């Protein structure tokens, strides 16, 4: 029987605040590789997934760049190079995303990167080099101002904002607001 082609996506942060994005992607028929450290969190996410057999765990600490490179290399060789990468990586691991991009550069097919970043990255733009076949999209996580008060975004709001960015394919998305900056929580 001919194997059905399934789109491949890679997500970092997909067991945490981007969990709803993980569920949405598999519902869109993506095969999803998920970088994570904590097996229990991954299994919990898998248990609530609409299609658990479409999930693949890359268990690695992304601060360990060699292990990260080996993990994504293996995933890409089994499932193909992903056409979509959603990255939520803490600034403590500045070489994690470049490591993943370098590994993805071994394939010349077009792909998209949704780079999710904290609010302060909006004012000090991170330098990131992407290959020509990559369409680069930024998503900034802001805050919410309501009733004269401000608060950070909830997981649902963050995931909803990232899904909207993917759906609309906007080059830059701000989830919530970044203005006025002095009103941030
Ligand atoms: N502007 C805003 O409103 C804003 C912005 C940023 C964050 N936040 C809030 O801050 C809270 C904490 O942020 P968080 O980043 O800890 O959220 P998180 O998304 O809940 O957790 C981090 C995610 O990244 C993975 N991860 C973290 N470190 C990793 C590592 N070294 N190697 C591999 N995978 C790793 C985690 O997997 P494992 O569990 O397997 O490690 C998990 O999937 C969130 O709950 C969010 O609500 C708010």
- Classify residue 1: in a domain, yes or no: no
Q: Residue 177: pLDDT above 70?
A: yes
Residue 1 has pLDDT above 60, yes or no: no
Asked, for residue 2, whether it belongs to a domain, the answer is no
Q: Ligand 1: distance of its center to the CA of 90 in Å? A: 8
Residue 88: inside a domain: yes
17 Cα to the center of ligand 1, angstroms: 6
- For residue 21, how far is its CA from the centre of ligand 1 (angstroms)? 14
Q: Which one, of 107, 21, 93, lies nearest residue 61 by Cα?
A: 93
- Please name every residue paired with 135 in a beta bridge, in sequence order, or none if there are none: 112
Give the residue carrying structure tokens 């056409």.
83
Q: Is residue 94 part of a domain?
A: yes
Q: What's the pLDDT tens digit per position in 16-59?
A: 999 999 999 999 999 999 999 999 999 999 999 999 999 999 99
Average pLDDT over residues 111-120: 95
Per the prediction, the chain carries an average pLDDT of 94
Q: Looking at the domain assignment, is residue 91 inside a domain?
A: yes
85 to each of 3, 9, 28, 102, 149, how far by Cα in Å? 23, 6, 15, 13, 34
Asked if residue 45 lies in contact with residue 69, where contact means CB atoms within 8 angstroms, the answer is no
pLDDT in tens, 125-170: 778 999 999 999 999 999 999 988 999 999 999 999 999 999 999 9
CB 7 within 8 A of CB 83: yes
Q: Does residue 35 belong to any structural domain of this protein?
A: yes
Structural domain boundaries enclosing 127: 7-183
For the chain, the domain total comes to 1
Burial of 138 (0-12, 13-18, 19+ CB in 10 A): buried
Structure tokens, 135:
């369409």
142 HSE (CA, 13 A, CB side)? 20
The binding-site residues of ligand 1, defined as CB within 6 angstroms of any ligand atom, are 13-17, 35-38, 41, 61-63, 88, 118-119, 141-143, 152-153, 155
Q: What's residue 127's pLDDT?
A: 80
What is the best residue among 23, 37, 99, 143 to mutate for testing ligand 1's pocket, by most ligand atoms within 8 Å of CB? 37
Give the CATH number of the domain where residue 77 resides: 3.40.50.720
Average pLDDT of the residues in 60-69: 98
How do 30-36 and 7-12 pair as beta strands? parallel
């Amino acid at each position: 029987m001919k194997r059905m082609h399934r789109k491949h996506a890679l997500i970092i942060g997909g067991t945490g605040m981007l969990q709803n994005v993980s569920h949405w992607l598999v519902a869109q028929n993506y095969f999803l590789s998920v970088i994570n450290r904590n097996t229990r969190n991954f299994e919990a996410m898998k248990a609530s997934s609409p299609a658990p057999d479409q999930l693949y765990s890359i268990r690695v600490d992304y601060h360990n760049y060699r292990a990260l490179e080996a993990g994504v290399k293996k995933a890409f060789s089994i499932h193909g190079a992903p056409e979509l990468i959603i990255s939520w990586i803490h600034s403590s691991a500045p070489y994690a995303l470049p490591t993943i991009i370098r590994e993805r550069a071994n394939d010349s097919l077009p792909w998209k990167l949704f780079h999710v970043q904290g609010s302060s990255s909006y004012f000090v733009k991170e330098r990131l080099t992407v290959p020509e076949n990559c369409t680069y999209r930024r998503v900034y996580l802001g805050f919410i101002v309501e009733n004269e008060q401000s608060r950070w975004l909830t997981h649902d709001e963050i995931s909803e904002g990232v899904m909207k960015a993917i759906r609309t394919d906007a080059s830059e998305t701000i989830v919530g607001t970044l203005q006025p900056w002095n009103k941030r929580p």
